[in-house]
Structures are given as structure tokens and as C-alpha cells.
Amino acid sequence: MATGAFDLTGKVALVTGANTGIGQGIAVALAKAGADVALIARRDPSETRELVEAQGVRAHVIMADLSSIEPCQRIVDEAIAALGRIDILVNNAGIIRRADALDFSEEDWDAVMEVNLKVLFFLSQAVARHMVGWAGQTGARGKIINIASMLTFQGGIRVPSYTASKSGVGGLTKLMANEWAPKGINTNAIAPGYIATNNTAALQADETRNRQILERIPEGRWGDPADIGGAAVFLASTAADYVQGHVLAVDGGWLAR
């Protein structure tokens, strides 16, 4: 359990895409710091729920398909009904579609932009409307943490809608900070580097690509979801009360190379 500035005891966090990978790592890290966690997932997050509850805090599962904004207000209402209020929102859910830019389809463009950017904004809006009702009281602040990407900074290849969406996440993070900081809300983002999850299993298994990736990372290893969890705890805590509109790269030094 965290102590001091990093102690989240009594806080309630809402984490999207919480069933596996980075979302699971963040949810567990917040739970270890003392927060109760609402787990938002399209697939059964029972493993994450067990890991969260093993920390002695509450977990509440909300099943939702974030391919449209339809469930956004329901998610907020259910989380508040189950856990009391929302102190922390982590917008982790996201998808990716791959094809050459010359061949990329409108369907793949729209699907990615809907989840990664539109739903992220409207869920943040719904949570922020709740937060402004209590933020600032006795110095308490709401915390919104968006999950960006290395492609918030770089162009990438064969992922035009993903690159556009994650660049947009960086911009929206700054806009939210500009508008909502005076209302008692901190908005920041985390840009993960190469993290060892199910989504990157193929890259890890490809001997050539794995070697090329590791050669560029000064830290010399793939990241772990817990590495992103640590950054999330920091941004969710009072230690980050003066951090606004920042995109924190957690990449083992990838961008520095």
C-alpha cells in the first residue's frame, strides 16, 4: 500500500480496457496504492478483478463496448452508484488497424478514430461533469489520465488512423488541461513504449524485429505493464497536482535514441 503523496486510499478510479495488458497493469497498480477500481471492459475482466480485490480494495466490473459513445453516461452513472464517485479516470481502451496508407479504408479509419479519440473525449466529458461537482473541495482534485503512444510523437508506418488518433490524444490532453485545470481537474497522458503484452507477442517472437527494437531502447528491455502502472499512480496522486497537459513517455529511452 502506498503512503504519503502517492497514497490513493479512499479514491475511486475508472479504467477502460481493463481486462488485460496495460489496462490490467494500471488497474492493479492503482489498487496497490489504495484506490477502489471500476473495471470497464468488452471482454470478461475476471482476472483483473481478482488481482485488484487481492489488494484489499473494491473492484466493480462494467461491461461496455466502446466502439461508440452510447455507453459513456451509463458507465459514469454505474460507477458512481457502485463506488460512490469517480476521482480518477484512465482512458486506456484503444484499437489499431494496419494497412498501407495508399490502401487504407474509410471503415478502418472511422473505427479507430471512434474508439481512440471520440469515445475518449466524450467519456472524459461525462466524468469531468461529475468531477466539477466536488473537485476543489478541501483541496481535492480530479485526475484524468489518457493513454497516448509513441505515435503521439512519431509518424509510424501502415497505421494512419492510429497515428492520427494518438496525435489527437496529445492535443486533447492539453485542451482538457487548459479548460479544466481551473475547475480542479488535472489532465495528463502516458505514452507507453514497447510493452510486453499479448498485443505485442508477435513482435517479441520475431527474432529480427525483437532485436531491432531492443537495440534502440537504452534500457535494453521491453517494458512491463507495471511500468505504466507506476506512472499512472504518480499522475493520479497528489504528487502530480501541479502537472497539467503533459504527455509522459514511459519508453525505456526509445525517444531519446
74 C-beta neighbours (distance < 10 Å), count: 12
What's the pTM value of the predicted model, to 2 decimals?
Answer: 0.97
Question: What pLDDT, on a 0 to 100 scale, did the predictor assign at position 200?
Answer: 86
Cβ neighbours of residue 211 under 8 Å, at least 6 residues apart?
A: none
Q: Decide the pairing of beta strands 247-250 and 185-192.
A: parallel
Consecutive H or E run containing 52: helix 46-53
pLDDT in tens, 164-201: 999 999 999 999 999 999 999 999 999 999 999 988 88
pLDDT in tens, 119-149: 999 999 999 999 999 997 878 999 999 999 9
CATH 3.90.226.10 fits 4-248, yes or no: no
Residues with a catalytic annotation lie at 162
Tell me, what DSSP letter sits at residue 195? B
